[in-house]
Amino acid sequence: MQNGMSLKQYLINQQRSGMDIAADLVDLICETAVTCKEITARIDRASLEGALGVAGSENVQGEEQKKLDIITNDVMYEHLSTTGLLAGMGSEEVDDPMMIPNQYPRGRYLIYFDPLDGSSNIDVNISVGTIFSIVEAPHGTDTPSPDDFHQSGTEQIAAGFCVYGPSTTLVLTVGNGVAMFTLDRSVGEFILVRDNVQIPEDTQEFAINMSNQRFWEPPVQKYIADCLAGETGPLGKRYNMRWVASMVAEVFRILTRGGIFLYPMDERIRDKGGKLRLMYEANPISFIVEQAGGASSTGRERIMEVEARALHQRVPVILGSKNEVEKVVEYHKGE
């Protein structure tokens, strides 16, 4: 490639440098990247093709589905079903685990995905993304049971997300740091643009939906109040705030210049366990953040160690620059 290394070349280089990445895992990552290319094209043309707006249905979370939530889920399911690399799939948009149709062979991996994260932003032309997490299926190529999908974050062997923004950029970890690949549309390949991504340990930028303030738990209330107190407050720093309402965009910013992102427990959603979903949002993003030197916690527990009990399980999420996340964890200890 004239202007850099392709995604597949990067993965082959990782193998050559001693990383244990099986050939079928390389294939699965590359096939997942193919679905991200197709989603790029679908999003690009959505307003021209009448594919914006709501679909008139709800997903298992009781959330209104956008037309593009369904389209992008179908793109991923239909493409990845045929690869012979997966034993099953779990999606934000589908209640039950998705099995591989009988006419296709099964592989030995499970993939979890949120096909269109931040989809409330799609109609207003703000960045959205696809998140995915890959684990080994506990029973190899057998048809997986629902329990087989309950894998904690530490079981992940690869995770990534693709942001559809001013450029389409894929962020990937296979457990050996974090790399970023931008889609070169002139050749149709994801090209390596940053390797060994590191999140600065300190930050003065937080991201939280302030409109929920009165529903947060006391430790988060106190931390944000202290941030707002600025340089004369207990944290001794003047903070900036951002809220895109697309986690993928927030995390991309944090990977680039540091920051802390919080979607904490909220009294209105306590019975659900929080807002963000463990298997296809919090776990893959946490794997990436930790691999970039950051930290990720519920406030009381490392997210990747949260016991997985359900495909659509939810957790509070606090992640980003290591020292800042540790500070928020300290606030929880004092409650």
Alpha-carbon 326 to chain mean position:
21
Q: How far is the CB of 196 from Mg ion (least distance, A)?
A: 27
**CA proximity to 319, closest of 246, 226, 255:** 255
Q: DSSP secondary-structure letter at 230?
A: G
CA 247, CA 163: separation in Å to the nearest integer?
Answer: 10
Using CB under 5 A as the binding rule, whether residue 114 contacts Mg ion is answered as: yes
Q: Of ligand AHM, Mg ion, none, which one does residue 266 interact with (CB within 5 to 8 Å by kind)?
A: none
What letter would DSSP give residue 201? S
93-101, 147-155, 160-168, 244-252 -> range binding ligand AHM (CB under 6 A): 244-252
Q: Which is nearer to Mg ion, 25 or 111 (CB)?
A: 111
* Nearer CB in complex with ligand AHM: 92/189: 92
Closest CA to 147 of 138, 156, 158: 138
- CA–CA separation, 11 and 74 (whole Å): 27
Phi/psi of residue 64, nearest 5 degrees: -65, 130
Shortest CB 185 distance to ligand AHM, Å: 25
State the nearest-atom distance from the C-beta of 208 to ligand AHM, in Å. 9
Q: Is 155 in the site for ligand AHM (CB under 6 A)?
A: no
Q: Are 273 and 313 in contact (CB under 8 A)?
A: yes
Tokens of 149: 């999908």
Selected from 119, 168, 203, 286, the binder of ligand AHM by CB under 6 A is: 119
User: With respect to ligand AHM, which residue has the nearer C-beta, 6 or 246?
Assistant: 246
- How far apart (Å, rounded) are the C-alpha atoms in residues 264 and 214? 12
Q: Which stretch binds ligand AHM (CB under 6 A): 162-170, 220-228, 233-241, 243-251?
A: 243-251
Among the listed ranges 25-33, 81-89, 110-118, 305-313, the one in contact with ligand AHM (CB under 6 A) is: 110-118
Q: Exactly one of 30, 126, 228, 245 binds ligand AHM (CB under 6 A); which one?
A: 245
Which residue number, 6 or 203, has a Cβ lying nearer to ligand AHM? Answer: 203
Using CA atoms, how far residue 143 sits from 86, 106, 329, in Å, is: 10, 8, 40
Q: Any idea what DSSP says for residue 281?
A: I
- Return the amino acid letter for 179: A
> From the centroid of its chain, how far is CA 238?
29
User: Which of 285, 295 has the CB closer to ligand AHM?
Assistant: 285
9/209 with CB nearer ligand AHM: 209
Per-residue x/- marks for ligand AHM, 255-294, CB under 6 A? --------x-------------------------------
Tell me the window of 75-83, 95-103, 241-249, 297-305 that interacts with ligand AHM (CB under 6 A).
Answer: 241-249
DSSP string, 99-127: EPPTTS---SEEEEEEEEETGGGGGGT--
Cβ proximity to ligand AHM: between 247 and 265 the closer is: 247
Burial class (CB in 10 A: 0-12, 13-18, 19+), 293: middle
The whole-angstrom distance between residue 84's C-alpha and the CA centroid of its chain comes to: 24
Please name every residue paired with 58 in a beta bridge, in sequence order, or none if there are none: 64
Site for Mg ion in 116-175 (CB under 5 A): 117
Those residues whose C-beta lies under 8 Å from the C-beta of residue 125, and which sit 6 or more positions away, are none
* Residue 263 binding: pick among ligand AHM, Mg ion, none (C-beta 5-8 Å cut-off by kind): ligand AHM
Query: Binding residue for ligand AHM (CB under 6 A) from 151, 173, 246, 321?
Result: 246
Q: Which residue is nearest to ligand AHM (CB)?
A: 247
Q: Minimum CB separation from ligand AHM for residue 169, in Å?
A: 16
Q: Count interface residues toward Mg ion (CB under 5 A).
A: 2
